[in-house]
Amino acid sequence: MTQNVWESYMKPFRILGNLYFVGTKLASSHLIDTGCGLILIDTGYPETLYLLLDGIYRLGFSPNEIKYILHSHGHIDHIGGTRYLAELTGAKTFIGGQDAAAVTGRQNLTFAEELGMTFREPFQPDFLLGDGDTVRLGNTAVRCVHTPGHTQGTMSFFFDLSENGKTYRAGMHGGSGTNTLERTYLEQHGLPPSLRGAFRASLEKLKDERVDVFIGNHPEQCDTIGRFERIRNGETDAFIDPKAWGAFLDGCATRLDDLLEAEAT
């Protein structure tokens, strides 16, 4: 961890419609109230699970209402609390098929060592997601798009939100970091260099998605903290920003270009 866990606390809040933020400053977690139970996207670090649970309660929900846990990818900052939460609630777990070996502990690909941590909470996912799969619960259908690069099994998520009689499309890129595309990381873990090309192809693929409400699996990706402050100041539509998605994808492509250029010199 790069900072003490209590320093990562964020007050939970409603983003728009039936979508809520229940994560921390270190890693995002999002909650969808489907009317027939809750869908949770990512569980954060194991050390911050208590903050996740506290946030769910503060919003008036119970962890026992969680039916499905979706994961953007198999790194410890997104799956760290899953084993304990699934055991507590009986929720079914979903992850991209190519990341199953990481979360079950068969492959050392959770990025725990790079963060100075140890992954001690492996779990057996109930469902392995593939490109184009849809996860349905109550009033919500989450479209899952395989976007490899950051990990081999990274999944991006898209679903509709309703607010004041209007429908908005929410979207999340499942893993945008280029740190796992560095040559040394790929070689150390026996990963193919082709993941770089897969990452770029994923960005092009996602440009075709309409996204009105961009949410990140880390707060800095979509300025979650700044937009929350705008909500607190009465700007209820702070997350409605159709231009944010394309700008974010362009930024990801630029970071990949910078990495390749730096390694070529």
pLDDT of residue 265: 86
For 4, 34, 72, 115, 150, the CA distances from 47, given in Å and listed in that order, are: 10, 27, 19, 13, 23
Average pLDDT, integer, range 78-95: 98
The arithmetic mean of pLDDT across residues 180-200, rounded, is 98
Taking residues 24-38, what's their average pLDDT?
98
Q: Among the listed ranges 6-10, 217-221, 260-264, which one has the minimum average pLDDT value?
A: 6-10
The whole-number pLDDT of residue 6 equals 64
Mean pLDDT of 172-191: 97
pLDDT of residue 5: 59
Average pLDDT along the chain: 96
Are the CB atoms for 80 and 43 separated by under 8 Å? yes
* Range 98-112 average pLDDT: 97
Query: Mean per-residue pLDDT for 90-117?
Result: 97
**Structural domains of the chain sorted by starting position, each given as residue range(s) with its CATH number in brackets:** 14-264 (3.60.15.10)
Q: What is the pLDDT of residue 1?
A: 47
**DSSP category for residue 236:** T
Q: What percent of the chain has pLDDT over 70?
A: 98
pLDDT in tens, 227-253: 999 999 999 999 999 999 999 999 999
Q: What is the pLDDT of residues 49-77, one digit of tens each?
A: 999 999 999 999 999 999 999 999 999 99
Mean pLDDT across 130-146: 98
- In angstroms, the CA 148 to CA 195 distance is 7
DSSP letters, 87-125, are HHH--EEEEEGGGHHHHTTSSS-SSTGGGT---------
